[in-house]
């Protein structure tokens, strides 16, 4: 996504947990909704349908296709379960109940229908690309859509796999309990929070505890700590590729 456009969305919608309005060529505007904590696990399961590295497949026909064409013609035709993932995303992120995959003047599209099967809106390939990007950026503050050479990405993944091999990633239920202990919010309240906000609270709380622990160690005469320990809130974000 273009940097200026991303900044616009972040300032006006993402940071405030608001729906993002999206104007379609045919039909009423769509509202792209932030995922709530209660829906995160379903979203996390289904979002893989939006993350396939289409252009790394060694097939010129696939590379030239739009992402929507690729999903419908190459992924979902071979595995019907993948189509269910797409429907989950359309339901959770766009609030759509009745959709149909088809063609409009020869172009692959998603038709949004009412309960009587009357078409109200049509999502074309280019619009789906925009919506996909908004969804991924809206719900993951660390989502990075830069193209990275597959070999470089493989090196990075192996580096972090080794670096964090002894660290256990807590379950989502444990993360919710941790945030609840820090904020005083009960599960019912957390469930209605946008996941993006929840994730930021979780990481800020973890970072703060680590910072306090490091400052205690720094003040102890038993240990030597080189340099000062900066609070993570005022530390520049690291590019994940810069470390390697």
Q: What is the mean pLDDT of residues 103-116?
A: 90
* pLDDT tier for residue 232 given thresholds of 50, 70 and 90: confident
In this prediction the pTM is 0.89
Q: Which residue bears the tokens 């009587």?
A: 116
Q: Which residues contact 235 (CB under 8 A, 6 or more apart)?
A: none
Please provide the DSSP assignment of 1-31 as one string: --HHHHHHHHHHTGGGTPPEEE--SBSSPEE
pLDDT higher than threshold 70 for residue 244: no
Give 146's DSSP letter.
-
pLDDT higher than threshold 80 for residue 27: yes
**pLDDT tens-digit profile of 55-82?**
888 888 888 999 999 999 888 877 888 8
* pLDDT tier for residue 117 given thresholds of 50, 70 and 90: confident
**pLDDT tens-digit profile of 136-146?**
999 999 998 88
In the prediction, which pLDDT does 243 show? 67
């Amino acid at each position: 996504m273009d940097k200026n456009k991303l900044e616009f969305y972040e300032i006006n919608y993402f940071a405030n947990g608001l729906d993002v309005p999206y104007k379609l060529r045919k039909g009423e505007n769509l509202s792209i909704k932030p995922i709530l904590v209660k829906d995160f696990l379903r979203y996390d399961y289904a979002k893989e349908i939006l993350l396939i590295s289409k252009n790394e497949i060694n097939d010129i026909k696939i590379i030239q296709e739009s992402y929507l064409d690729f999903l419908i013609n190459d992924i979902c035709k071979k595995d019907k379960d993948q189509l269910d993932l797409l429907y989950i995303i359309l339901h959770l992120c766009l609030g759509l109940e009745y959709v149909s995959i088809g063609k409009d003047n020869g172009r692959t599209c998603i038709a949004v229908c009412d309960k009587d099967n009357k078409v109200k809106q049509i999502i074309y390939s280019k619009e789906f690309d925009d919506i996909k990007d908004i969804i991924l950026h809206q719900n993951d503050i660390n989502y990075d859509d830069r193209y990275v050479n597959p070999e470089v990405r493989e090196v990075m993944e192996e580096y972090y796999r080794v670096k964090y091999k002894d660290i256990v990633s807590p379950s989502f239920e444990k993360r919710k309990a941790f945030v609840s202990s820090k904020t005083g919010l009960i599960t019912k309240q957390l469930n209605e929070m946008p996941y993006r906000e929840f994730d930021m609270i979780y990481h800020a709380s973890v970072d703060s505890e680590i910072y306090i622990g490091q400052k205690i160690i720094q003040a102890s005469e038993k240990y030597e700590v080189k340099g000062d320990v900066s609070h993570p809130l005022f530390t520049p974000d690291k590019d994940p590729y810069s470390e390697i």
